[in-house]
Amino acid sequence: MKQVEQQEHQNHFLTENDWEKYIEKYARTFKSQGFKSNDYLIVCTSYGMNIGAESMSLAAKKLKITTIPEGKCTFPIRILKNYKPTSIVGSIFKFLRLAERMKENKLDPPRIKYKTLNCRWRKFFRRITRIYRRNLGC
């Protein structure tokens, strides 16, 4: 019985090798999207029990990209003004809410030319794509 409990307990946790694979995957993704070592990256994903945000930050560190670890995209707009990030990683819905907040603060999202807006959710509907392009100018 104890051995079964131990095996079940071990199956819920990622190994160091698993983490390295995720870090390498995100590093390859960042490189393929044109991220450079002088970029300032905002990571708009959860830093909780999720492996995504932490492994993205570690991948960015590996590529010498400066990370602004905000978690949610509800960070103060002054972060955009003061740090002038060149890239943001997040979901399309987080980008759309961010665009609304930028407009409320008299910033025009299409005029802010980020080098990279990397949307992690690849399969979305045409309507959302049009809304995304209209609001963010991409």
**Residues 79-113 pLDDT 10s:** 888 888 888 887 777 878 888 888 888 887 755 55
- Quote the percentage of the chain above a pLDDT of 90: 13
Whether residue 66 has pLDDT greater than 90? yes
CA 23, CA 60: separation in Å to the nearest integer? 9
Task: Provide the domain count of the chain.
Answer: 1
pLDDT of residue 121 exceeding 80, the answer is: no
Angle at 107 between CA 104 and CA 109, to 5 degrees: 105
Residue 80 structural domain? 2-136
Neighbours of 129 (CB within 10 A): 13
Show the tokens assigned to 89. Answer: 């990683």
Beta bridge mates, 39: none
Predicted model pTM = 0.68
Q: What is the CATH number of the domain that holds 55?
A: 3.40.50.12780
- Indicate the pLDDT class of residue 50, thresholds 50, 70 and 90: low
